[in-house]
Amino acid sequence: MSKPTTPDDQKILDVLNRAVCKALDRKRRLGQYAVVWRNGQVAKVPPEALPCIGQPKERVRKRD
């Protein structure tokens, strides 16, 4: 069982998730495939099948 995430942990996961989604979106727009690890094997995912699952909502934070 995994431990509950802290607010800082969640911020880090959100940033990483956005970065992956941005990279996959770029590959999709360029018509490039992505290489992923799936079911214990390397797999090529064609651009039209590239997912961006769980993309978090953008948070806007004002700097003081």
Tens-digit pLDDT profile for residues 4-63: 789 899 999 999 989 999 999 999 999 999 999 999 999 999 998 987 754 445 544 444
**Residue 1 confidence (pLDDT):** 54
**Residue 38 confidence (pLDDT):** 92
Residue environment code for 26-50, b if the CB has 16+ CB neighbours within 10 A, otherwise e: eebeeeeebeeeeeeeeeebeeeeb
Hunting for tokens 């995912």 — which residue is that?
45
**Residue 64 confidence (pLDDT):** 45
pTM: 0.66
Kindly tell me if the per-residue pLDDT of 2 is higher than 90.
Answer: no
